[in-house]
Amino acid sequence: MQCAMLDILRCPYCGGRLELVTSMCHRTDDRGIQEGLLGCHCCIFPVVDGIPVLHLQPAAIAARAHLEAGRPALALRAMIGLDDEAAAARFEAVASCATATYRDLAESLGEGFEGGYFLYRFSDPTYVVADAVVRAVARTVLDGRRALDVCGGSGHLTRSLLDLSSGPPVLADLYFVKVWLARRFTAPGCEPVCCDANAPLPFVRGAFGFAMCADAFQYIWTKRQFVGELIRAIDGDRGNGAVAINHTRNAQAWSPSQGQPLPPSGYRDLFETLQPRLFGAAGLFSDVVSRGVVDLARRDPEQALDADPGLTIIATRHPGVFEPHTVDHPRALRGTYRINPLYETTRAGGRLQLRLRFPSEDYEAEYGGCRHYLPEETTVDASLLQALEAGGRPPALDELIRRRVIVDLPVYYY
Ligand SMILES: [Zn+2]
Residue 245 lies in a domain: yes
Between the two ends of the chain, the Cα-to-Cα distance in Å is 26
Q: Indicate if 233 and 351 belong to the same structural domain.
A: no
Q: Which letter does DSSP use for residue 125 in this model?
A: H
- Ligand 1 centroid, distance to 366 Cα (angstroms): 42
The alpha carbon of 64 and the centre of ligand 1 are apart by a number of angstroms equal to 15
Same domain, 240 and 157: yes
For the chain, the residue count is 414
Q: How far is the CA of 245 from the centre of ligand 1 (A)?
A: 28
pLDDT digits (tens, 9 = 90+) for 24-61: 999 999 999 999 999 999 999 999 999 999 999 999 99
Domain contains 175: yes
8 A C-beta contact, residue 393 and residue 406: no
Give 207 Cα–ligand 1 centroid separation in angstroms. 18
Confidence check: pLDDT of 331 > 70: no
- In DSSP notation, 148-211 reads EEET-TT-TTHHHHTTT-SSPPEEEES-HHHHHHIIIIISTT-EEEE--TTS--SB-TT--SEE
Same domain, 227 and 346: no
Question: What's the CA-to-centroid distance between 22 and ligand 1, angstroms?
Answer: 17
- Same domain for 306 and 396, yes or no, is no
CA distances from 252 to 35, 227, 234, 264 (A): 46, 20, 30, 8
Q: In what order do the strands lie in the sheet with 170-173?
A: 191-194, 170-173, 147-150, 210-214, 242-249, 310-316, 276-280
Q: Are residues 313 and 352 in the same domain?
A: no
Based on the fold, state whether residues 322 and 276 are members of the same structural domain.
yes
Q: How far is ligand 1, taken at its centre, from the CA of residue 47, in Å?
A: 15
Q: Is the same domain home to 373 and 275?
A: no
Query: pLDDT digits over 115-169, tens only?
Result: 678 889 999 999 999 999 999 999 999 999 999 999 999 999 999 999 999 999 9
Q: Are residues 272 and 215 in the same domain?
A: yes
Indicate which CATH number applies to the domain containing 299: 3.40.50.150
> How far apart are the CA of 12 and the centre of ligand 1, in A?
7
Find the 75 Cα to ligand 1 centroid distance in Å: 21
- The separation between CA 276 and the C-alpha centre of its own chain, rounded to angstroms, equals 22
Range of the domain at 177: 121-326
Number of domains the chain is built from:
2
> What separation in Å is there between the alpha carbon of 196 and the centre of ligand 1?
14
For the cut 70, the answer to whether the pLDDT of residue 86 exceeds it is yes
For residue 38, report the distance from its CA to the centre of ligand 1, in Å. 10
Last residue of a domain, one of 301, 326, 351: 326
Within a domain: 6:
no
Residue 287 has what DSSP assignment? I
**8 Å CB contact between 399 and 332:** no
- pLDDT computed for residue 258 by the predictor: 79
Provide the 3-class DSSP secondary structure of residue 103.
helix
Q: Rounded CA gap, 99 and 90, in Å?
A: 15
- Kindly give the distance from the C-alpha atom of residue 16 to the centroid of ligand 1, in angstroms, as a whole number: 5
